[in-house]
């Protein structure tokens, strides 16, 4: 049987769901990177590897 707990501001939810929501709601330290920055960084890294393969 699933144990139901009361979520603040809403209805009841399974306790495992509450744990996941609490995990994703917490703000952890570390760098904040936008998805665009990560895509551009990967593209620059790929181009750098291609250039190095052509030079060497």
β-pair partners for 6: 12
State the residue range of the domain holding 40: 4-55
What pTM does this model have?
0.50
Domain count, the chain: 1
Query: Which H or E run contains 12?
Result: strand 12-14
pLDDT in tens, 33-53: 899 999 999 999 999 999 999
Residue 16 CB partners (closer than 8 Å, separation 6+)? 2
The pLDDT confidence band at residue 11, using thresholds 50, 70 and 90, is low
Q: Are 24 and 12 in contact (CB under 8 A)?
A: no
Mean of the per-residue pLDDT values for the chain?
A: 75
Q: Helix, strand or coil for residue 37?
A: helix
Sequence-distant (≥ 6) Cβ neighbours of residue 13 within 8 angstroms: 4, 5, 7, 21
């Amino acid at each position: 049987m699933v144990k139901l707990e009361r979520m603040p501001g809403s209805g009841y939810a399974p306790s495992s769901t509450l744990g996941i929501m609490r995990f994703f709601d917490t703000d952890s330290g570390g760098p904040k990177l936008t998805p665009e920055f990560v895509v551009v960084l990967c593209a620059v890294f790929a181009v750098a590897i291609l250039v190095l393969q052509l030079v060497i």
